[in-house]
Amino acid sequence: MIEVHSLYKRFGLKTVLRNLDFQVQKGEFVALLGPNGAGKTTLLRILASLSRPSMGVVRIAGYPLPGQAAAVRRRLGVVSHLPLLYGDLSADENLRFYGRMYGVPNLPQRVSEVLELVGLASRRRDLVRTFSRGMQQRLAIGRAVLHDPEVMLFDEPHTGLDQDACSMLDQVLSEIAARGRTVVMTSHDLMRAADLASRFDVLSRGAIVASVPRTEMDPDQLLGFYRQAVTAP
């Protein structure tokens, strides 16, 4: 579903991603782990077609980037630590706006379904700027699944959430994974990643330095695996 070969990304003289190879099969839930500055967000922004690769091949669902970015974006749902929502619009209006941008059919019904799903149906008329951080993140997930994407990209979705909001988010993430969607999630929270993901990849110094399927490793050993991967020469 996601294929990345020999990817380089440079910002001026700084090379953030170097010769990176990364594959994700359909239905896999990959936790992308790594220290700050490793290039996780840059990789996700390239996969989301928000950033152009300097060199290399990127394909999502068979469509090359940046050549067929619109076809890729139709199949993508993205959640980052920013909600990507308008504070002066209500929850309902935000979803209607994004629904129009994605050409979602039967929009009023779909918006109601999604608001129900993320537990915000009773607050649908409230302005997003009155929402707590956790509620905004739930609505951000609603926005991301509104057009029923095949691939979900989560960039540190737990950032700034309290324990209740994190649990709620985990529940939604599990449900998304259970639906057979392909998921890539960056995270610093190893415990949560261990509970959710079916594969763990470690990105360090601009390249994937280690990868292990959940079936081949006890989740309790994830911290050791991560430390070994990032400290290896």
Partner 1 sequence: MTQDLSIPETTTVRGESALGAFLRAMWAVVWKDLAAEMRSRELLSAMLVFALLVILIFNFALELDAKTRSTVTSGVLWVTFTFAGTLGLNRSMAIEKDRGCLDGLLLAPVDRAAIYFGKVLGNLIFMLVVEMIVLPVYSLLYNTNLFHPGLLLVILLGSVGYVVVGTLLASMAVQTRTRDVLLPILLFPVVIPLVIAAVKGSAGFLQALEIPEIMPWLNLLIVYDVIFTAVAFMVFDYVVEE
* Interface residue list for partner 1 (CB under 8 A): 45, 48-52, 66, 70-71, 73-74, 76, 78, 80, 82-89, 93, 97-98, 100-106, 110, 113, 116-117, 119, 127, 143, 145, 147-148, 171-172, 175-176, 179
Report yes or no: 63 and 71 within 8 Å, Cβ to Cβ. yes
CA-to-CA separations, 21 to 8, 56, 131, 203, 217, in angstroms, rounded:
10, 9, 39, 11, 22
Q: Which is nearer to partner 1, 175 or 218 (CB)?
A: 175
Q: How far is the CB of 217 from partner 1 (least distance, A)?
A: 28
Q: Which one, 150 or 210, has the nearer CB to partner 1? A: 150
Contact 30, 36 (CB under 8 A): no
**Is-contact 18 65, C-beta < 8 A?**
no
Residue 101 C-beta: closest distance to partner 1, Å: 4
Looking at beta carbons only, is 177 or 193 nearer to partner 1? 177
Pick between residue 44 and residue 194 the one whose CB is nearest to partner 1.
44
CB of 213 to partner 1, least distance (A): 25
Q: How far does Cα 188 stand from its chain's mean position?
A: 13
Nearest distance, CB of residue 231 and partner 1, angstroms: 30
Please, what is the end-to-end C-alpha distance for the chain in angstroms? 31
